[in-house]
Amino acid sequence: MDTPTRTRTIEQRKNVVILFAGDSGDGIQLTGSQFTDTNALFGNDVSTFPNFPAEIRAPQGTLAGVSGYQLHFGSVEVFTPGDQCDTLVVMNAAALKANLSKLKKGGIIIANRDGFDAKNLRLAGYPDDARPLEDGSLANYTVHAIDVTKMTRASLEGTTLGTKEKDRCKNMFVLGFINWMYDRGLEPTERFLEQKFGRKPEILEANRLALKAGFDFGDTSETFTTRFEVKPAPLPKGTYRAINGNQGIALGLVAAAQQAGLDLFYGSYPITPASDILHELAKHKRFGVKTFQAEDEIAAICSAIGASYGGALGVTASSGPGIALKTEALGLAMMLELPLVVVNVQRGGPSTGLPTKTEQADLWQAIHGRNGEAPIPVIAASTPVDCFEMAFEAAKLAIEHMTPVMLLSDGFIANGSEPWRFPQAKDLAPIVPPFAKPVGEDGVAAEQFLPYVRDERGVRPWAVPGMQGLQHRIGGLEKEDRTGNVSYDPVNHEKMVRLRADKVARIADTFRPIRLDSGPDEGDLLIVGWGSTYGALRTASLALQEEGHLVAHVHLRHMFPFNPGLGALMQRYRKVLVPEMNSGQLRQLIRSEFLIDARGFNKVQGLPFMAEEVRAAALQFLNE
Amino acid sequence: MSTTNGTAPAARIDYASDQEVRWCPGCGDYSILKQVETILKEQGRPKEELVFISGIGCSSRFPYYLDTYGMHGIHGRAPAIVSGLRSVRPELSVWMITGDGDSLSIGGNHLIHLLRRNVDVNILLFNNEIYGLTKGQYSPTSPEGAVTRSTPMGSTDHPFNPMALCKGADGTFLARAMDRDPKQLREVLTRADAHRGASLVEVYQNCNVFNDGAFEVFTDKASKPFHTIFVEHGKPLVFANGTKGIRLDCMRPMVVDLEGGEWSADDCWVHDERDPYKASILVRLFEDPTEEGAMPRPFGVFYQADRPTHEEKLNAQVQRAREKQGAGDLDELLRGQHVWTIG
């Protein structure tokens, strides 16, 4: 940059949490994700949490319309988007009112003064005489009120854009200013703008001008005496990209299909927060990915079953309400013993519940939610990067063990992103479909083909239409062992129920023994978690260990069957705490499976855990 | 997997599986199974390239009785299973077996979407106007007033007209046949199989246990000529042994007497399978045959249109993506567009 006109203090920070908030039309998500990319490129560790309003375009200026994007970046490893923020950027009064409680005492507020006029204050529900930016009510914070709208318009005076279009560049002004405040260059954002608006030179230029104006405003205004610097984090060496959970799932599925040599068929019905998996997969047709937007959730899963029957990897995804609709077909897939991956990106329930909020309350649905005895493996992803790994594993288990597999994610990791030291294709595990041997090999003749003869793992052969001499019929009726013919024989039914359950139980033999995420091998407290609470639980556990407590953390990825060794592990601690974003679903499974008196720490607010509340709960339990 | 070209089987029995057929004695399903086996034999397609998918109901046991690939699915969902299978295996010959309850009640949604997408499949909709497997409740095709176990005072529901429904969903091949006219059934099935796209054949099928004689007026030798009309492409709509015809009077069909000297076959409506407007009128010939002056019920191929199939378009997109961007490179995909290096 040009030589600064004044001397400025640069404060070093280990990590910073910044929350961008404004109307859903203010471009908050774009601003947040751009600043995230800039910091990631700089070498920080990052973790993000976008928080969308429930409505697509709620009335402007109201609390219901506030969209947020929280970013935690650090020169140290960060595991969560942060409990409370250091800096709160608000585009209007509603954004301030909705988010002030998330700002640390003494934190910085960057406010768009133009979003605090009488109308905006009224819409946000402030009393008539309230003037939050001036009336001293924010005395505990450092407030920078900036005329963002006016200055953005001024910076675009030379353009032919209308006022409405000019105002759309407000977010770039703010982004420019924030980049100045945290001592970041504008190049990454400029590159992004060129890609996005390359074909609309006028819009591109306007966004650039606003971005630059925001940066220069910080640089020249005398109000700002302090900038902050967050040095790069000591992340493992390598090449990184950013990834969110839904992308992770999509890429994990494509990678698994490639490793197995199968086409990927994805049948799905739009639902929040799972739809982005469909959007992502629809882009990858050249990998043989076929996406099918079905007429409903039932057709989505049934089409995937049809595709698996045809020899492809059939996958469907949804969220809780959609999974409920799929359960009959899930039972069919289990009965047929065909590969199928079912992804549940959980959201707040029950019923329609809280579509844009996060929760992990579908664990029982995943494990128990079918008629009859219909066990299927259930696995759970804990971070956006883990979504890739677990989607890959879900597909591997489904294909190699001829079973539907349920993968649980949730809205928090689906939309949150983090840096990913992505693997190379050659390092991915092999996936071997158990295709039936064609007639002729091993002297198998047509009339001898038995579709439900099992190998040593209890897995039946996959005979796909088109394979000569292996014609057979399958269906949802109980079938005779080995032949697969319809059978109402009582003893056979019980045998088949056991054979199917046994096959799923033996999948645990392929799991790695359980490993602690952190902490001593034995001690006073074991924190047992699963899913997207990973970051908060890890942060809390590390803090407790640093304070000298004998606290360990284990994070489950295999919900059914459990990893071998979990029961023995829990016995080595005086107490077991199971924090969950539900009323205690894993806790009850653990209690019934292992007869361990586990305690729950439960939050069902549609929001992720804060590390601090987990730490406090663990501490209280320790001291009882 | 390997797909091999087998040789055509020598006898009809080759397509039958080793499973004992377990429909009620006298059920119309036997006739349909036999005609399907016959045309499979005529085609001589290798057994492994044939797939029969069904839902739930009496008719849906069908796949068990053929030595082809087959899946007995869940109630109403066969169209969805077929859609997924066809998407990934466009080279197979896929048949869907369903009934009036399976495809018009619980699976109604899937059927209309399969038709609009034009998935290439031969659909045999066995219509017996009753729920047989659950022992005698009224179905969405039972006539108003039908007395069944669930409607002791008569059904209050207005029934579906399946051909009109499927025409409304833009089905590209619509035909009607009956179990008791095997020759016509075979002809229609052969045509359906030759059609590229969703071929829907409604088959009037007698349930001799719970709804015996539902279609007797169309099948009985004495009444059949007066209550049925077999439509053929390019031929006038004539019935009652040539004594009556149907004329289109300003798009309104009317029965005319061909013996009175006023009208001749040349004045009658000439059937054009390719005419969507005429087909929309034809499917509306659905009057209660017991009513005085009721129009005869049409049978045969009502309508056929050429429209690319869903799987053709889907696979063309895959092909196009590969031509434009090259086959997928997994490393490139995992890497994404923006990367940075640490260390």
Q: Which residues pair with A19 in a beta bridge?
A: A70, A88
Q: Cβ contacts (< 8 Å) between B120 and chain A: which residues? A: none
Task: Render A568-583 in DSSP notation, one character per residue.
Answer: HHHTTEEEEEEEESSS
Length, in residues, of chain B: 343
Q: What is the DSSP letter of A83?
A: S
What is the least distance, in Å, from the CA of B35 to any CA of chain A? 20
* CB contact A304 to B (< 8 Å): yes
A290:B318 CB<8 A: yes
Cβ within 8 Å of B, A 453-512: 464-477, 485-486
Judge whether A35 and A336 are in contact, CB under 8 Å: no
What is the least distance, in Å, from the CA of B124 to any CA of chain A? 18
Nearest to B71 among A243, A295, A474 (CB): A474
- Sheet of strand B244-249: strand arrangement: B238-239, B244-249, B252-257
Ranges of each domain in chain A: 9-229, 243-419, 441-510, 523-623
Judge whether A563 and A514 are in contact, CB under 8 Å: yes
Q: What is the pLDDT of residue B321?
A: 97
Spell out the SS3 assignment of chain B.
CCECCCCCCCCHHHHECCCCCCCCCCCCHHHHHHHHHHHHHHHCCCHHHEEEEECCCCHHHHHHHECCEEEECCCCCHHHHHHHHHHHCCCCEEEEEEEHHHHHHHCHHHHHHHHHHCCCEEEEEEECCCECCCCCECCCCCCCCCCECCECCCCCCCCCCHHHHHHHCCCCEEEEEECCCHHHHHHHHHHHHHCCCEEEEEEECCCCCCCCCCCHHHHCCCCHHHHEEEECCCCECEECCCCEEEEEECCEEEEEECCCCCCCHHHCCECCCCCHHHHHHHCCCCCCCCCCCCCCEEEEEEEECCCCCHHHHHHHHHHHHHHHHCCCCHHHHHHCCCCEEEC
What's the ipTM? 0.96
State which residue of chain A sits closest to B339, comparing Cα positions: A241
Nearest to A292 among B6, B87, B343 (CB): B87
The two three-digit tokens of residue A5, written as one number: 């006109």
Q: What's the pLDDT band for A51 if we cut at 50, 70, 90?
A: confident
CB atoms within 10 A of CB A84: 16
Q: What is the pLDDT of residue B99?
A: 98
Q: What is the DSSP letter of A467?
A: B
b/e sequence B153-184, b meaning 16+ C-beta within 10 Å: eebeeebbbbbbbbbebebbbbbbbbbbbeeb
Nearest to B81 among A296, A302, A435 (CB): A302
> Is the omega angle on the peptide bond into residue A561 within 30 degrees of 0, that is, cis?
yes
Distance of CA A224 to the CA centre of its chain: 36
Cβ within 8 Å of B, A 221-280: 232, 235-243, 251, 254-255, 258, 263, 265, 267
Judge whether A146 and A177 are in contact, CB under 8 Å: yes
Distance CA B179, CA B182 (A): 6
B330:A425 CB<8 A: yes
Q: What is the pLDDT of residue A573?
A: 98
Phi first, then psi: give them for residue B325, nearest 5 degrees.
-115, -5
The two three-digit tokens of residue A536, written as one number: 């908060």
Q: What is the pLDDT of residue B14?
A: 80
* pLDDT score of A362 more than 80: yes
Q: What's the pLDDT band for A445 if we cut at 50, 70, 90?
A: low
Q: What's the pLDDT band for B12 if we cut at 50, 70, 90?
A: very low
B338:A241 CB<8 A: yes
Q: What is the pLDDT of residue B2?
A: 38
Span A267-286, pLDDT tens digits: 999 999 999 999 999 999 99
What is the least distance, in Å, from the CA of B321 to any CA of chain A? 5
Ranges of each domain in chain B: 12-214+308-314
**What CATH class is the domain A523-623?**
alpha beta
Q: What is the pLDDT of residue B177?
A: 98
Q: What's the pLDDT band for B10 if we cut at 50, 70, 90?
A: very low
- Classified as helix, coil or strand, A354 is strand
Distance CA A394, CA A314 (A): 12
Nearest to A473 by CA among B189, B8, B18: B18
Q: What is the pLDDT of residue B5?
A: 43
The mean of the pLDDT values for chain A is 95
Alpha helices in A355-410 (DSSP H): 363-368, 384-401
Nearest to A37 among B334, B338, B341 (CB): B338
State what percent of residues in chain A have pLDDT above 90.
92
> Is the omega angle on the peptide bond into residue B289 within 30 degrees of 0, that is, cis?
no
Q: Cβ contacts (< 8 Å) between A418 and chain B: which residues? A: none
State what percent of residues in chain B have pLDDT above 90.
92
Distances (CA, A) of B303 to B161, B163, B172, B191, B239: 15, 10, 7, 11, 19
Distance CA A516, CA B261 (A): 97
B48:A254 CB<8 A: no
CB atoms within 10 A of CB A2: 7
State which residue of chain B sits closest to A256, comparing Cα positions: B330
Distance CA A151, CA A160 (A): 16
Span A172-221, pLDDT tens digits: 999 999 999 999 999 999 999 999 999 999 999 999 999 999 999 999 98
The two three-digit tokens of residue A618, written as one number: 């663990």
Instruction: Find the range with the poorest average confidence among A81-90, A439-448, A543-552.
Output: A439-448
* pLDDT score of B1 more than 80: no
Averaged pLDDT, A432-442 = 82
Q: Cβ contacts (< 8 Å) between A468 and chain B: which residues? A: 2-4, 6, 46, 48
Distance CA A68, CA B108 (A): 42
Averaged pLDDT, A406-423 = 95
HSE (side-chain half, CA atoms, 13 Å) at A223: 12
Radius of gyration of chain A (CA): 27
Q: Cβ contacts (< 8 Å) between A236 and chain B: which residues? A: 342-343
Beta strands B297-304; B173-178: pairing state: antiparallel
CATH superfamily of A243-419: Thiamin diphosphate (ThDP)-binding fold, Pyr/PP domains (3.40.50.970)
Q: What's the pLDDT band for A58 if we cut at 50, 70, 90?
A: confident
A309:B77 CB<8 A: no
- Classified as helix, coil or strand, A67 is strand
Element (DSSP H or E) covering residue A321: helix A320-336
What is the least distance, in Å, from the CA of B140 to any CA of chain A? 21
Q: What is the pLDDT of residue A7?
A: 63
Identify the residue whose tokens are 């429209």: B307
Q: What is the pLDDT of residue B3?
A: 40
Q: What is the DSSP letter of A100?
A: G
Q: Cβ contacts (< 8 Å) between A292 and chain B: which residues? A: 83-84, 87, 314
Cβ neighbors of A567 (< 8 A, separation 6 or more) are: A593, A594, A596
* CB contact A302 to B (< 8 Å): yes
Judge whether A175 and A182 are in contact, CB under 8 Å: no
Q: What's the pLDDT band for A226 if we cut at 50, 70, 90?
A: confident
State which residue of chain A sits closest to B70, comparing Cα positions: A473
Nearest to A553 by CA among A509, A510, A523, A588: A523
Q: Cβ contacts (< 8 Å) between B73 and chain A: which residues? A: 302, 305, 332, 475-476
Residue pairs between chains A and B whose CB atoms are closer than 8 Å: 219
Span B100-140, pLDDT tens digits: 999 999 999 999 999 999 999 999 999 999 999 999 999 99
Q: What's the pLDDT band for A3 if we cut at 50, 70, 90?
A: very low
* pLDDT score of A2 more than 70: no
Distance CA B34, CA B13 (A): 10
Judge whether A577 and A328 are in contact, CB under 8 Å: no
Distance CA B202, CA A290 (A): 31
* pLDDT score of A1 more than 70: no
Site from A471, A483, A487, A488 to mutate, B interface, most B CB atoms within 10 angstroms: A471
- Sheet of strand B50-54: strand arrangement: A473-475, B69-72, B50-54, B93-99, B121-127, B198-204, B173-178, B297-304, B228-231
Identify the residue whose tokens are 């009859």: A372
* pLDDT score of B146 more than 90: yes
Distance CA A256, CA A258 (A): 5
* Higher per-residue confidence, B9 vs B311: B311
What is the least distance, in Å, from the CA of B210 to any CA of chain A? 24
Question: Whole-prediction pTM value?
Answer: 0.94
A43:B322 CB<8 A: no
What is the least distance, in Å, from the CA of A35 to any CA of chain B? 14
Judge whether A291 and A307 are in contact, CB under 8 Å: no
Instruction: Find the range with the poorest average confidence among A438-452, A554-568, A605-619, B124-138.
Output: A438-452
Distances (CA, A) of A94 to A49, A67, A131: 19, 10, 13
Beta strands A404-410; A340-346: pairing state: parallel
A9-229 shares its CATH topology with A243-419: no
Judge whether A16 and A228 are in contact, CB under 8 Å: yes
**Which CATH entry fits the domain spanning A9-229: 3.40.50.620, 3.40.1110.10, 3.10.129.10, 3.40.920.10?**
3.40.920.10
Distance CA A270, CA A276 (A): 9
CATH superfamily of B12-214+308-314: Thiamin diphosphate (ThDP)-binding fold, Pyr/PP domains (3.40.50.970)
A290:B314 CB<8 A: yes
Site from B14, B51, B71, B337 to mutate, A interface, most A CB atoms within 10 angstroms: B71
What is the least distance, in Å, from the CA of A192 to any CA of chain B? 10
Span B192-238, pLDDT tens digits: 999 999 999 999 999 999 999 999 999 999 999 999 999 999 999 99
Averaged pLDDT, B253-274 = 97
Distance CA A248, CA A271 (A): 18
Span B232-250, pLDDT tens digits: 999 999 999 999 999 999 8
B72:A476 CB<8 A: yes
Nearest to A284 among B81, B333, B341 (CB): B333
